[in-house]
């Protein structure tokens, strides 16, 4: 593993990040300086396509405008606090936000795919017992700009001839609990004027909030939905995923069926396998029964160890048996490959490690 960069601290910073400034306000600001409205578009293009991280680099803007901009705004509000590269080429960024909160995003290289895993909240309020992100509860939602900036930072790591191809919303937080900001960010990410990532290449992973799943379905976007199931019955699921006690599996499955009916996009069910808890043959049989008759994919995720938690990864034999039972029942099953194991790449782990240290690097300022 390499640690590449320690970066500037933002405390006391008052200049607002450009992506946080509402379009009308930016246009009024430009107009007050006798600048054409098209300048706003130029600046966005520099951030989204031109890889600029300073106003100085926006070379087709008049010099005095660039100077003026730099006194009032910042191109990006988040800064790279840490950049780790795993042996398998996975990059993990720890980003510091303007209020000194930190979030994670991950860039994965797989054949011709360049996939970014993004966070939607600082912390998480869902409380899944095995997940590092939820251990400290929810701190706050991310803004659309903060979600978009993760994609920009990850994209800026790629060689100029490469572009991001896929987004998985599987980082810290519950995406459907911050749906408006996420949708705003994804609209830019998937527009040709923005990052040009295909909407069909975006996967939103949720703990399963039925009303929000229906709301997302009704938008008739091409986004792919993944639902974190983790158990085949309510009794076990409520122990692993506490919010289940309020929602229940039936309502989640109905909402996911509705999503498929409306969008025509098959739903993926994620299932984190925890040794001796939900990894037994009887669980696989029950899961197959639960999903029978549905056009779905199952994504099995062997648990990634989280320090301080009592859960363990299942054995290889248990995994082989679990897969065989599901496939035997006619389900489409994939086992998620482990990426970035040596850099705490599972969601929320790096942030936790960093917060546990005496001081997060505050860098070169």
User: How many angstroms separate the CA atoms of 197 and 190, rounded?
Assistant: 5
* Residue among 102, 105, 144, 207 that touches ligand SAH (CB under 6 A): 207
Helix pair 210-218, 179-190: axis angle to 10 deg:
30
User: How many angstroms separate the CA atoms of 307 and 311, rounded?
Assistant: 9
SS3 182: helix
Q: Does 303 bind ligand SAH (CB under 6 A)?
A: yes
Name the active-site residue from 104, 146, 174, 270: 104
Q: Catalytic: 104?
A: yes
Nearer to ligand SAH, 35 or 203 (CB): 203
Nearer to ligand SAH, 17 or 134 (CB): 134
Q: How far is CA 31 from the centre of its chain?
A: 36
Quick one: which of 229, 175, 172, 177 has its CA closest to 202? Answer: 175
Q: Does 269 bind ligand SAH (CB under 6 A)?
A: no
Q: Does 298 bind ligand SAH (CB under 6 A)?
A: no
User: How many angstroms separate the CA atoms of 89 and 162, rounded?
Assistant: 15
Would you tell me how many other CB atoms lie within 10 Å of the CB of residue 233? 14
Q: For strand 332-335 and strand 296-302, is the pairing parallel, antiparallel, or unpaired?
A: parallel
Name the active-site residue from 56, 286, 347, 357: 347
Q: Does 128 bind ligand SAH (CB under 6 A)?
A: yes
Specify the stretch interacting with ligand SAH by CB under 6 A; choose among 100-108, 156-164, 299-307, 316-324: 299-307
Q: Does 138 bind ligand SAH (CB under 6 A)?
A: no
Quick one: which of 214, 128, 228, 150 has its CA closest to 179? Answer: 214
Specify the stretch interacting with ligand SAH by CB under 6 A; choose among 103-111, 259-267, 301-309, 316-324: 301-309
* Residue among 115, 205, 263, 278 that touches ligand SAH (CB under 6 A): 205
Q: Which residues pair with 301 in a beta bridge?
A: 272
Q: At a CB cut-off of 8 Å and minimum separation 6, what does 23 contact?
A: 40
Specify the stretch interacting with ligand SAH by CB under 6 A; choose among 39-47, 48-56, 298-306, 324-332: 298-306
Specify the stretch interacting with ligand SAH by CB under 6 A; choose among 125-133, 154-162, 214-222, 320-328: 125-133
Quick one: which of 211, 226, 130 has its CA closest to 177? Answer: 211
Q: Catalytic: 270?
A: no
| Residues within the interface to ligand SAH (CB under 6 A) | 126, 128, 130-131, 170, 174, 205-207, 228, 270, 272, 301, 303-304, 306, 346-347
Catalytic residues: 104, 347
């Amino acid at each position: 593993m390499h640690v590449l960069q320690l970066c500037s601290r933002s405390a006391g910073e008052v200049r607002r990040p450009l992506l946080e400034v509402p379009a009308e306000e930016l246009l009024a600001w430009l107009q007050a300086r006798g600048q054409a409205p098209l300048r706003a578009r130029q600046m966005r293009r520099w951030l989204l396509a031109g890889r600029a991280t300073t106003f100085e680099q926006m070379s087709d803007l008049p010099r005095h405008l660039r100077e003026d901009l730099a006194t009032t705004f910042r191109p990006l509000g988040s800064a790279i606090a840490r950049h780790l590269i795993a042996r398998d080429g996975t990059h993990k960024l720890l980003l510091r936000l303007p209020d000194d909160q930190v979030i994670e995003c991950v860039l994965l290289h797989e054949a011709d795919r360049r996939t970014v895993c993004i966070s939607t909240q600082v912390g998480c309020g869902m409380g899944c017992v095995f997940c590092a992100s939820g251990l400290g509860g929810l701190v706050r939602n991310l803004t659309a700009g903060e979600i978009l900036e993760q994609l920009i930072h990850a994209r800026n790591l790629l060689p100029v001839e490469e572009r991001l191809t896929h987004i998985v919303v599987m980082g810290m937080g519950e995406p459907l609990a911050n749906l408006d900001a996420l949708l705003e960010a994804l609209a830019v990410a998937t527009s040709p004027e923005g990052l040009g990532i295909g909407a069909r290449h975006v996967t939103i992973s949720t703990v399963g909030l039925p009303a929000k799943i229906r709301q997302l379905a009704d938008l008739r976007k091409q986004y792919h939905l993944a639902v974190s199931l983790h158990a085949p019955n309510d009794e076990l699921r409520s122990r692993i995923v506490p919010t289940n006690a309020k929602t229940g599996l039936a309502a989640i499955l109905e909402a996911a069926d509705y999503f498929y009916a409306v969008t025509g996009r098959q739903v993926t069910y994620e299932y984190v396998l925890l040794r001796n808890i939900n990894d037994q043959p009887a669980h696989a049989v029950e899961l197959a029964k639960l999903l029978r008759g549905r056009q779905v994919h199952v994504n099995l995720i062997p648990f990634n160890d989280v320090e301080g938690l009592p859960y363990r990864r299942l054995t290889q034999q248990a995994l082989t048996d679990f897969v065989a039972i599901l496939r035997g029942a006619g389900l489409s099953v994939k086992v998620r490959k482990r990426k970035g194991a040596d850099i705490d790449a599972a969601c929320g782990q790096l942030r936790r490690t960093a917060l546990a240290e005496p001081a997060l690097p505050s860098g070169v300022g």
